[in-house]
Structure 1
Amino acid sequence: MFCPTLAAAQYPTAAADIACNLERHLEFVAQAADQQVQLLVFPELSLSGYELACAPELALTQDDPRLLPLSAAAHARQMTIIVGAPLRSGPALHIVALIFHPNGALTTYTKQHLHGAEQQYFSPGNGGSLLEFHHHNVALAICADTSQPDHASAAARAGAHIYAAGVLVSEAGYAKDSAALADYARRYGMLTLMANHAAPTGGWIPAGRSAIWNHTGELLVAAPDDAPGLIIADKTSDGWHGRLCRLS
């Protein structure tokens, strides 16, 4: 029997160093492939770090050749890889999730709800389409999107079975943000996933503790700390099961 497996990457971003982060992302992808992961979600702005003032200089475009290794990895591993980046689209700068599909396609989800200083550098986005993942519809979110209840309810109305968020959440915000995701899971019957950072970035100290909740709002698995790792959910005949894989 085929077992769909997805994971949150609790990832330590190198500040403003896209070349280094690309190499690290590929290391995470390789270890995720060893764990049979087919859908891997990285935190918000994982390729650049949460370096807002540097974002205009760090911004990528969809045809940036530096992204080709991630596209190749998605194809070779037959894995959907979702990474965070600043993206230039014409004159606008967006916080995006870059979605590398197993068939070689690259699509995007653009953050809809900006927070604090983000509004000085970025334009609000329009979101994106649901992803199809082994007969499950996946809705994406980026950090502050999850603080808007209408965002999750719209995902549920669109037919999402999974709500996957790349975030940057500190200790001060963790209780509120994780409770909201658990509530969305319970209220809308969606598996929810939170991929948080594993190292300080942009002046923020993340809480780590990336997590996945099942469709009843029950916590399937969470990282106990802020160490790098994969937070994994496998679906079997009797539902979803969680596990943790530590990474060096």
Structure 2
Amino acid sequence: MAPEFPVVAAIQSASIKGDIATNLTRHLVLARQAAALGARLALFPELSLTGYEPEVAAAVAMRGGDVRLAPLAELAQGSGMTIVAGAPLRIDDALYIGAISFLPDGRVAEYTKQHLHEGEGAVFTAGPGGAALDIDSAQVALAVCADFTHSSHAQAAAQAGAALYAASVLVSPGGYAKDSEILRGYAEQYAMPVLMSNHGGPTGGWQSAGRSALWDERGRLVVESGPGECLVLASRTAGGWQGRVVAAA
């Protein structure tokens, strides 16, 4: 029998192009809602704090410890919940697609997208990735969108002992069937549950499919949202996985 797993939340948020202040305010509302629902992990979509907007990414890029994000760090500490938000990251002279994790102990961890989609290389640099997160002693491996299209990425996470593969994405309606099947397949192949957080609205000229989801260690769909802003929550107890979709506050 699989051990219990804490409540995790894929937060299907909508982003406004380059507007960090407004997007941050929305992140705080949705993350507080997730914490109130018992979540120990709040996973936002790819580049959630700025939108998936390559043309403005350099102008709105952040560095580690950006003071504007202090409210997310404070919320993580106060709630005991890890918050993973997406943003373009400036490290040295390179620009990366990043996932910034705010940890309950006050630390901030950075993950940089390892595999770029066609065209992203004109703006971004492929990154080295980052360490897995510890969520109540369970290892959670992060992925950002195109990372999961490389089977070696998920394989490495599984071999390192990940108890959950958490992907922040922008997936369009046309690409959803293929991409969701890849993620479902990893869950089944590696007996590693997969959580996917997609955008809740259009961004960067792309429509988003929404449909954030969790697949269990057998590759079975536990919960899937529709379009628009919402929270997808899932947890595992002795009776197995349970999931629900909650309307965004």
**TM-score above 0.5:** yes
> What's the counterpart of residue 180 of structure 1?
182
Q: Does 1:233 align with 2:234?
A: yes
Distance 1:3 1:90 in 2: 37
Secondary structure of 2:73's aligned partner: helix
After superposition, what is the alpha-carbon deviation per residue over 1:172-206, rounded to whole angstroms, capped at 9, x for unaligned?
11000000000000000111011000111000000
- Aligned position for 1:134: 136
- Structure 2 contact 65–108 (Cα < 8 Å) conserved: no
Task: For structure 1, list consecutive stretches of 5 or more residues without a partner in the other structure.
Answer: none
Alignment match, 1:15? 17
Q: Which amino acid aligns with 1:24?
A: R
- Distance in 2, matches of 1:65 and 1:196, equals 26
Aligned pairs (5 A) from 1:154-169: 154-169=156-171
Is 1:42 matched up with 2:44?
Answer: yes
Corresponding residue SS for 2:146: helix
Cα distance in 2, alignment partners of residues 186 and 208 from structure 1: 22
Distance in 2 between residues matched to 1:226 and 1:41, nearest whole Å: 17
Task: Tell me the percent identity.
Answer: 48
Q: Deviations over 1:136-174 (max 9, x none)?
A: 111100000011111101111111110000000001110
Rounded to whole Å, the distance in 2 between the matches of 1:128 and 1:3 is: 22
State yes or no: 1:76 paired with 2:78.
yes
Structure 2 counterparts to residues 196-207 of structure 1, below 5 A: 196-207=198-209
- Over aligned residue pairs, what C-alpha RMSD do you find? 1.0
In structure 1, the partner of 2:93 is 91
- CA gap 1:68/1:240 in 2 versus in 1, 3 angstroms: same
Paired amino acid for 2:233:
I
User: 1:133: Cα distance to partner?
Assistant: 1.2
1:3 is displaced (CA, Å) by 6.5
Alignment of 1:212-231 (within 5 A): 212-223=214-225, 225-231=226-232
User: 2 CA distance for matches of 1:40 and 1:165?
Assistant: 12
Tell me the SS of whatever aligns to 2:21. Answer: helix
Matched, 1:242 2:243: yes
Letter in 2 for 1:162: L
1:52 pairs with one of 47, 50, 54: 54
Aligned mates of 1:183, 1:112 — CA distance in 2: 20
TM-score computed with the length of structure 1 as normaliser:
0.97
Code of the residue aligned with 1:207 in structure 2: it is A
Shift of 1:32: 0.6
Q: Aligned residues, how many?
A: 246
